[in-house]
Amino acid sequence: MLKRALSGMIVAGLVVVLAGCKTTPDASAPTSTLSTREATRLAAQMQFQNPQIQATLGQGTSMQPLYTEDTVIMIHPIDFADLEAEMIVAYRNRQGQIVIHRLVRLELGGWVAQGINNPREDRERVTPENLLGVVYTVIYTEGM
């Protein structure tokens, strides 16, 4: 019963989060009325419901205006064979950092990825070994 109640709360929370998002004509990032703390709490509830999901906070400018600082990004595992161009995925680079970028094309050494705000493609390729998953959903916050 508790699991079903939490599931309903999460769905209701996501509806509120998504319904409360707004974008402006100048292509600024979507925002909501949630604080980063509230968004993180909601992400923890989602992880409780599905332990495969991993949450991370948006950092940097490579995916702006889609994701900004403190956007909570939920990542779900995906098989490498199921990847397709234009998917937004997370992978761990050689420095151990999580990178969240869009897939451009498949080459012999793996998928070429690029941040939507970056002029150049990533040097590293997305491979079965460094792939963390696909962006499952995001929880926008009050913004910067």
- Note whether 62 and 105 are within 8 A (CB): no
Cβ pair 47, 55 in contact under 8 A: yes
Residue 108 has what pLDDT? 94
- Give the per-residue pLDDT at 64: 80
- What is the reported pLDDT for 18? 39
Chunk the chain into consecutive blocks of 10 residues (it has 144) and report each block's average pLDDT, rounded to whole numbers. Answer: 40 38 50 86 92 89 80 95 98 96 97 95 97 92 68
Look at the domain 2-139 and name its fold: Umud Fragment, subunit A (2.10.109)
The CA dihedral of 99, 100, 105, 106, to the nearest 10 degrees, is 60
